[in-house]
A and B are shown apart, each in its own frame.
Chain A
């Protein structure tokens, strides 16, 4: 009996019990789909971070200082002990460091005439903002050192804010109100688009000194530090600790390098991988048991058929391959369905969180291989049962 005939026979037998076959496949479908989705998310996250870093122009020499002992320390973010003066002092005292950029963040209601818009991000920064962030202007200019030192009420708008308040009008030179305070618009940023569903253009950037009085705070939530070169990053980190350590305790601030960020991301992706990977593995095992169970039922149900086939000349290998191939076909179909479902799921998730969809070919190949393998594992025992049926008994079976 040739292979093509066997596969055709298996497919017909599977279609003869559509619902049962579909339910049997479910375990494999879910397992494979979750593997596909997981891998795609992981890959997309990595691509995202790289793209993010590139689009903002944050080089590998940039070091981030945040309040609190880790990223989860939210209360430290609210009551930051970092000050603008720390940024200035780091820059002054550290030979390996080029620039330091202190940032204060808040939200504010922006008004222009009768138009109102809640700005999600108001950033207070120093005049060297564009030396660290690749955030170009389409019109106007960025504020200068004099604006920062003089606590001037000037601002640069993200495109979303500009559009909401001014529509198609040129906002340069106009006065807007941020939480009731008047600010003169100096420039408008280039559009950045959405990332992870977060509108990067719903932003207003003002001098850090003005932000202090606007938000009534001195707490800096981030200091971005540019080392003179990538090689000098470790040295720069030491210099940062030397300066901050004199005034603050170890739990008051944290220093993150790009490498550290990558490590953190990899840790998160790794955790996600093991959790979903575990779920997928369990699902595949359950799926495999399901297939084996159904194949055993199928062998019992078709005892008479097996007897008839043996009587007309089926060899043991014919009977064995009939059931094994059927099991593999079920599992393989399950795998293919899982891939389709997984890709659809990935597409949906990526659409919702606005990330580029990455199709990982090795994951698809692995999925197909694993599902076929599961078919073999689940099919061997039931197929052996079929092979070992006594043809006389089998023919008598009703």
Chain B
């Protein structure tokens, strides 16, 4: 294992409880997890085990009830809303099951959005966006709107958006869930390629075969991590 200084993500005694009216619903208990730079971690577990909640907490979309999350050495639980937004913008790249591209603008403009919020100038945005699309093999789709391209291409555009700001970690939530097996395979090859270049990936999936693309498997059950092991290839 790598040295602690290389930990890109360090989670300590993390718990999350949702309060709906008078009822408290605990979702995560005392999670400890450390992910080093360059790792490709698959998270598996049945529905409702808390893996999406964990992803949302790591993705700074939600705040923990207790415990801490350090991303690149920064404790995100102490950050303001604007600070969290900045972390999402610069350190996190989301890849969703349903792609979540904006339907009214073309692929190139979709990829530009994170750069818009980092205050990058227009010409630089365009250059970076096109280069990200090129690296995903969808440069020829730059001027197409999401509904004009295939599911696999959409997910590749979405990955381009996730990597365009060179984040510390990519959070992928069932990235192949809405794709046919061929497109799914292509997407996984892209993840593999990104990971080989040193990109850290954290992926949630139901699919054992998809999970096997990672180098480490974390299993969750009822809000706890029940297994954390290396995947042998």
Contacts and interface: CB of A to CB of B under 8 A. Distances in A.
Contact of A318 (B61, B90, B117, B165): B117
A395 B100 contact: yes
Interface in B54-104: 56, 59, 61-62, 81-82, 85-86, 88-90, 94, 96, 100-102, 104
Contacts of B118: 313
Interface in A288-343: 304-305, 307-318
A216 interface: no
A16 interface: yes
B104 A312 contact: no
Given A313-B88, A392-B61, A5 B100 contact: no
A322 to B, nearest CB: 11
A313 B114 contact: yes
A304 B99 CA distance: 12
B167 to A, nearest CB: 10
Contact of A313 (B85, B96, B105): B85
A352 B189 CA distance: 75
Contact of B85 (A304, A305, A310): A310
Contact of A312 (B62, B81, B122, B161): B161
Contacts of A2: 119
A85 to B, nearest CB: 85
B57 to A, nearest CB: 10
A315 B62 CA distance: 14
A304 B61 contact: no
Contacts, number: 63
Nearest to A308: B100
A392 B18 CA distance: 13
B96 A310 contact: no
A311 B59 contact: yes
Interface in B103-127: 104-105, 113-114, 116-119, 122
Contacts of A308: 100-102, 113
B114 A316 contact: no
Contacts of B102: 305, 308
Chain A interface, >50% SS class: helix
Contacts of B116: 1, 5
Nearest to A5: B116
B136 to A, nearest CB: 16
A314 B117 contact: yes
B190 to A, nearest CB: 19
A316 B80 CA distance: 11
Contact of A311 (B90, B100, B105, B165): B100
B114 A312 contact: yes
B59 A316 contact: no
Nearest to A9: B116
B119 A313 contact: no
B94 A311 contact: yes
Given A16-B104, A305-B102, A309-B113, A316 B85 contact: yes
A312 to B, nearest CB: 4
Contacts of A379: none
A124 interface: no
Contacts of B81: 315-316
A388 to B, nearest CB: 11
Contacts of A316: 81-82, 85
Contacts of A312: 88-89, 94, 113-114, 117, 161
Contacts of A313: 85-86, 88-90, 114, 117-118, 165
A207 interface: no
Contacts of B89: 312-313
A12 to B, nearest CB: 8
Interface of B: 56, 59, 61-62, 81-82, 85-86, 88-90, 94, 96, 100-102, 104-105, 113-114, 116-119, 122, 161, 165
Q: Which 10 A-B pairs have the closest CB atoms?
A: A313-B89, A315-B85, A313-B117, A312-B114, A313-B88, A391-B61, A308-B100, A315-B82, A311-B94, A314-B117
24 contacts: A1-B117, A1-B119, A2-B119, A304-B100, A310-B61, A310-B85, A310-B88, A311-B59, A311-B61, A311-B94, A311-B100, A312-B161, A313-B85, A313-B86, A313-B88, A313-B90, A313-B165, A315-B82, A315-B86, A316-B81, A316-B85, A318-B85, A392-B61, A392-B62
Given A315-B86, A318-B85, A395-B61, 7 more contacts: A12-B105, A308-B102, A309-B113, A309-B117, A312-B94, A313-B88, A315-B81
